[in-house]
Amino acid sequence: MPVLTVEVDRSTMTPAGVAAKFTAYRELFRTKVRANDPARSREESADRTVHGWRRTWPGHTRAGYPPVALVVTDAGPLALAGRQQAVADLSADCWRGRWRREVRDNDDG
């Protein structure tokens, strides 16, 4: 895995504060910048934008945004489980998929 973001929580922030960091990471990963690839120099400026993190790590081929690992310290097993669930619930819009039904005329599945 060429890109991995690590967030270390020493159990000093509230679960809402930790969850807010996932929203901030998502916005950071969504930020687009101009691509400096000479091979794309003939493209229109608007077509030459890429996600900023992909310009920093151009060899990254994984779909989506870089993963964020949350490391929690200074918490006992019960507190850790509760904290993990609270952060997961509060940040779910950043990582949980959304179900949708799609009907296609040319698809048997």
Q: What's the confidence (pLDDT) of residue 95?
A: 86
Q: Is residue 105 part of a domain?
A: no
Q: Where are the beta strands (DSSP E) in 21-81?
A: 32-34, 49-51, 68-72
Q: What's the confidence (pLDDT) of residue 39?
A: 80
Number of domains in the chain: 1
Q: Is residue 18 part of a domain?
A: yes
Q: Is residue 89 part of a domain?
A: yes
> pTM of the entire structure?
0.72
Q: Is residue 42 part of a domain?
A: yes
Q: Which domain holds residue 80?
A: 5-95
Q: Is residue 44 part of a domain?
A: yes
Mean pLDDT in consecutive groups of 10 residues from the start of the chain, 109 residues: 84 93 93 82 79 81 85 88 93 84 65
Residues in contact with 95: Cβ distance below 8 Å, sequence separation at least 6, in sequence order: 22
